[in-house]
Structure 1
């Protein structure tokens, strides 16, 4: 599930949103209200239930072959997403939807940019689309999906490597 040219996506478990209104996200360290969305490359970060903690790593321009082999595994591709076993049922059962939004309403945020935001209300281009089987999406995208007892050892390895990474909802991970 990726956006078409001129679009960005917002993923949600709520299929009834008719208009996205800027707000300050509970998890945001920023005080300004935004509508959040993602472009093509960051969509896989959101192929999960909203509250699911996940640690993700992928090859970047300065990533060493050794780190890819150590973190992702030899012959296992160049991107890996890790979640805890306790979230397996939620990943299998979630009904996730993608809203297509006009990219012209959004600007990149972050350094490097990890999302796009709008400061004005945004109306979806059409009705929300069911995202479908999250495991199948990962497989089709060539992304390894790893199940772990606990994310923290993996997270510390990733953040100490030359790989690019993102951690979402890590506050929900086991301690």
Structure 2
């Protein structure tokens, strides 16, 4: 692949500058969505199946995610975050914090960004260790509280509060 320049921002945008790549990584990261049909059916933004297939293929080619046969189902494929994608946690935390400050976000969809912002680098490191365990099979430090569970619980509480109108 030929690049327009060696600028790190430009090169990063060549990887993530389209509308969907970071959204797919976000859904794999925060929703633990690892199958095509789960990514498609649970897309808050309504990604089209051909676009999802294209982005997954592109992210695999770029080394951001891996694609392996699912050991639990012969006809399914399991997508996993590769280390470069896992290291996007701080970037996504900063993007979410910026979005919360400057854009009309919903409470339930911004609560994880708030938790990431409040938790800071220590929380991000715990979350990345947990993602390495979930996606790469690398055990996280023993006795470490689950960042994934904290994020999920915060989202579920905000979702329920929004649903019942409190």
TM-score bracket for the superposition, by shorter chain length: under 0.3
Bigger relative contact order (CA 8 A; separation at least 6): 1
Larger strand percent: 1
